[in-house]
Amino acid sequence: MTTEPTAQTPAELPAAFCQQISTLVGPDKWRTDTQSLESHGKDSTHFYKPAPAAIVFPKSIEQIQRIVQLANQHKVALVPSGGRTGLSGGAMATNGELVVSFDYMNQISDFDPINQTVVCQPGVVTQQLQQFAEQNDLYYPVDFASTGSSQMGGNIATNAGGIKVIRYGMTREWIKGLKVVTGNGDLLDLNKGLAKNATGYDLRHLFIGSEGTLGLIAEATIQLTRPPQDSPVLVLGVDTFDAILNVLEAFQKGIEISAFEFFSEQALKKVLERHSLQRPFEAGPNYYCLIEFEAVSPQTTEDAMALFEQCVESDWVTDGVMSQNQTQAKNLWRLREDISESISHFTPYKNDISVTVSKMPTFIKQVDQLVAREYPDFEIIWFGHIGDGNLHLNILKPNTLETDEFKTRCAEVSPRVFGFVQQLNGSISAEHGVGLLKKEYLHFSRSQQEITIMKAIKAVFDPNSIMNPGKLFDA
């Protein structure tokens, strides 16, 4: 006699599998209701419809491992879900997959004040880690607009960057160890927090930036550092893109900077339309530079002001302002950091691209001419992490255009934009990942030999192709 399973069984999943998973995690951590499927089956990409079969919420490494083992037995595809802030469709479940959410694995443990490391579960929110570090007189420097909701597992899986890469690097630089569950259900403990480990291949770095295609991040040992001292912020007005690089070169030679961002006048207008913030100064230049530096002494601030004056005298900068306190610094940062949120309701088509910094003037001129010609009726918003070569080109959807038609029109020009990227040896994805949105363009950044090797690596760790299938490339 067959026992009817107590777990709700989606049509796409085997009943026995659903029963085993529900028993493993408990019925409250197994969800098939419409609200959960809608909220956890997607990320912040606007161009795909979520269609997961169910959501599971593990609470331990052992449960993660067992979920993957059962998924292999029953040939069930898994999609990892963190804070769902991704912008390339990497966490979209569109084909009846089981979503593995880490919302309940959100603890920080094993703080080591001598090594200045902490052990994090994958569901720890970035801001949570930053606050923990601050409470212990330390600092976690990887920072971006979504720190209040992004999770560390997702940050690691996409090698998240952000606003201070020019000084502190990407997420990769701060991962001292990883525990991962591979696509075939093996648990690997990689590097174990060591600073020096010359024992062959460092498999840890394969999983950082792998977008969940090799396995699931189950735990991470994170390096912290000393907190910066007072960090003033400068916002400078610049009329030409070439002048931005002149300003960058001058400041890099004169002082150590923590961030060097840029945004256009159009981007600033979008922020001011939605937020009660003030213009940094009256005159409206074409572009703005935002520079942050650590005031290690009064001399550093004096040096920064002298550099500002040099830039004005050289006709690179039209006007500028420096924060006088922490509140002013935060408000100046908001002019840059609030751009993504301010344009989100326009359903922007996002291009997250990078070239070496010296090639940026050539690149931006090429793309500007292309988008002006091909999208005369679309509004273009430029901003980015100019100090590390990362540009965000955002094309805003007109209200009169349906989303599918808008995406189609943008996609028609994307190969030409990425052709410029390829000519300049750049990347089609600087920090957002490839996911679904950019996988057809991967060959603009990776050779066929590289893609073949990447597929072979996936086959080793995920022989049944159950891990985030359809992302990055088609296996």
Band of residue 7 on the pLDDT scale cut at 50, 70, 90: low
Q: Is residue 397 part of a domain?
A: yes
pLDDT tens column, 169-211: 999 999 999 999 999 999 999 999 999 999 999 999 999 999 9
For residue 134, give Cα distances in angstroms to 140, 225, 228, 230, 384.
8, 10, 11, 14, 27
Q: Is residue 398 part of a domain?
A: yes
CATH of the domain at 123: 3.30.465.10
Q: Is residue 427 part of a domain?
A: yes
Query: Does 375 score more than 50 pLDDT?
Result: yes
Q: Is residue 467 part of a domain?
A: no
Q: Is residue 454 part of a domain?
A: no
Q: Is residue 466 part of a domain?
A: no
DSSP 268-301: HHHHHHHS----SSSS--SEEEEEEE--SSHHHH
The torsion angles phi and psi of 60, rounded to 5 degrees, stand at -155, 165
- Are residues 209 and 150 both part of a single domain? yes
In angstroms, the CA 14 to CA 237 distance is: 60
As a whole number, the mean pLDDT across the chain is 94
- Are residues 84 and 172 both part of a single domain? no
> Average pLDDT, stretch 223-252?
95
CATH of the domain at 349: 3.30.70.2740
Percent pLDDT > 70 in the chain is 98
pLDDT tens column, 451-473: 999 999 999 999 999 999 999 99
pLDDT tens column, 73-119: 999 999 999 999 998 999 999 999 999 999 999 999 999 999 999 99
- Are residues 114 and 213 both part of a single domain? yes
Q: Which of 340, 374, 389 corresponds to the end of one domain?
A: 340
Band of residue 251 on the pLDDT scale cut at 50, 70, 90: very high
Q: How many residues does the chain have?
A: 475
Q: How many domains does the chain have?
A: 4
Q: Are 436 and 90 in contact (CB under 8 A)?
A: yes
CATH of the domain at 298: 3.30.70.2190
Q: What is the pLDDT of residue 12?
A: 81
Query: Does 148 score more than 50 pLDDT?
Result: yes
Q: What is the pLDDT of residue 47?
A: 85
Q: What is the pTM of this model?
A: 0.93
Residue 345 DSSP one-character state:
G
Distant-in-sequence, close-in-space partners of 36: CB < 8 Å, separation ≥ 6: 55
Q: Which of 103, 129, 147 corresponds to the end of one domain?
A: 103
Q: Are 390 and 384 in contact (CB under 8 A)?
A: yes
- Are residues 243 and 328 both part of a single domain? yes
Query: Does 3 score more than 50 pLDDT?
Result: no
- Are residues 219 and 112 both part of a single domain? yes
- Are residues 156 and 174 both part of a single domain? yes
Q: What is the pLDDT of residue 9?
A: 66
- Are residues 138 and 213 both part of a single domain? yes
Query: Does 69 score more than 90 pLDDT?
Result: yes
Percent pLDDT > 90 in the chain is 84
> Average pLDDT, stretch 10-35?
93
CATH of the domain at 80: 3.30.43.10
The torsion angles phi and psi of 161, rounded to 5 degrees, stand at -110, -100
- Are residues 174 and 272 both part of a single domain? no
Q: Which of 223, 247, 263 corresponds to the end of one domain?
A: 223
Per the structure, the complete domain to which residue 269 belongs is given by 233-340
- Are residues 156 and 241 both part of a single domain? no
- Are residues 366 and 301 both part of a single domain? no
Query: Does 6 score more than 60 pLDDT?
Result: no
- Are residues 349 and 328 both part of a single domain? no
- Are residues 318 and 408 both part of a single domain? no
Q: Could you report how far apart the first and last alpha carbons of the chain are, in Å?
A: 40
> Average pLDDT, stretch 380-408?
91
Q: Is residue 66 part of a domain?
A: yes
